[in-house]
């Protein structure tokens, strides 16, 4: 998200995470950024009051105890969401944007989202929420996310979400774009397959999954899951060149979420993962191979973040509500 905002003209004044590898990644790539490694609950945002134009972030999707009532700001203490809301309150930012998984819309029968929006409203913001697909914003991946945008009530203007731009991006656009594919993307670190798994995946054609396997092979490979319900489309899945990549997870080779290369029998490499998330090729990820996959899989695609950020920047400029003119 920070990269997307940077490209839209924002200057980060504070970035926070409690994951040491994420912090190191930011410090390596942007040594001039103010990156703080701490629990968000420990941070004091009041020094930034009247200084920031936008607060952005994500927080874990968790149920709240409703008892049939909308909860207020003080009632969500002890949650990461509370600290995100506290940041908004203490900075008095004119605009904020929050990103979360699509499941937030149905989490706890929709009550979680109702609580979140009501807390933002209590803090003095006009709030909107909308599910957007990153594939509609120059990203070769189907990745649906809830984007919540709040505008302080004294600002008499309504924010409009970005229009669809650059739809139709597919895996081929990511993995064979830019620098030489074989040299810079495919031939880098990736997790491996066992001998048994490799033999199974060799039988799956481009764009196929477990349904492409002979029934006896699929039954043995999947075990009791073979007879369970659901489409299980991520099992023994081989990606397709001419389709968007499914939503990346924190690992390219899990039982239910396989991300096998379209041609080669191997998981996507770290660099390929980064390409699908539209990171620049020179972006360095800290930590072990597993940590790198995790960081990339958890990220907001850079192009997607940029589309949202440009819309926010335009809104701020058009309505002359910037706090930080520098």
- The question of whether 61 is a catalytic residue gets the answer yes
Q: Which residues contact 297 (CB under 8 A, 6 or more apart)?
A: 248, 249, 250, 251, 273, 277
Sequence-separated contacts (24+) of 220-229 with Cβ below 8 Å = 225/255, 225/256
- Using CA atoms, how far residue 52 sits from 183, 283, 313, in Å, is 42, 26, 12
The Cα–Cα gap between 296 and 298 comes to: 5
Asked if residue 239 lies in contact with residue 135, where contact means CB atoms within 8 angstroms, the answer is no
Q: Name the catalytic one among 61, 87, 245, 260.
A: 61
Nearest to 24 by CA among 308, 306, 292, 297: 292
Following CA atoms 250, 253, 258, 261 in sequence, which dihedral angle do they give, to the nearest 10 degrees?
110
Backbone dihedral angles phi then psi of residue 161, each to the nearest 5 degrees: -70, 155
Active site residues: 61
């Amino acid at each position: 998200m920070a990269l997307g905002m940077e490209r839209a003209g924002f200057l980060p004044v504070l970035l926070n995470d409690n994951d040491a590898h994420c912090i190191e990644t930011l410090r390596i790539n942007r040594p001039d950024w103010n990156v703080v490694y701490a629990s968000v609950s420990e941070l004091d945002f009041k020094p930034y009051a009247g200084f920031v134009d936008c607060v952005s972030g994500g927080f874990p999707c968790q149920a709240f105890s409703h008892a049939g009532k909308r909860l207020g700001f003080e009632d969500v203490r002890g949650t990461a969401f509370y600290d995100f809301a506290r940041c908004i309150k203490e900075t008095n930012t004119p605009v904020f944007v929050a990103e979360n998984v699509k499941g937030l819309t149905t989490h706890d029968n929709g009550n979680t989202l109702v609580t979140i929006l009501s807390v933002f409203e209590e803090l003095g913001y006009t709030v909107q929420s909308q599910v957007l697909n990153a594939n509609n914003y120059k990203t070769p991946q189907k990745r649906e996310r809830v984007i919540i945008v709040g505008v302080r009530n004294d600002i008499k203007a309504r924010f409009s979400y970005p229009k669809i731009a650059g739809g139709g991006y597919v895996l081929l656009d990511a993995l064979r774009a830019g620098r030489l594919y074989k040299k810079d993307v495919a031939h880098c670190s990736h997790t491996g397959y066992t001998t048994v798994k490799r033999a199974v995946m060799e039988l799956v054609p481009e764009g196929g999954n477990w349904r492409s396997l002979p029934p006896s092979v699929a039954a043995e490979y999947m075990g009791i899951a073979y007879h369970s319900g659901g489409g299980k489309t991520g099992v023994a899945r081989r990606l397709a060149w001419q389709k968007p990549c499914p939503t990346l997870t924190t690992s390219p080779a899990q039982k239910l979420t396989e991300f096998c290369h379209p041609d080669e029998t191997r998981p996507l490499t770290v660099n390929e993962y980064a390409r699908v998330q539209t990171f620049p090729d020179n972006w360095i990820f800290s930590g072990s191979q597993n940590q790198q996959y995790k960081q990339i899989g958890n990220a907001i695609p850079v192009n997607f973040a940029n589309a949202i950020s440009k819309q926010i920047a335009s809104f701020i400029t058009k309505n002359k509500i910037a706090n930080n003119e520098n």
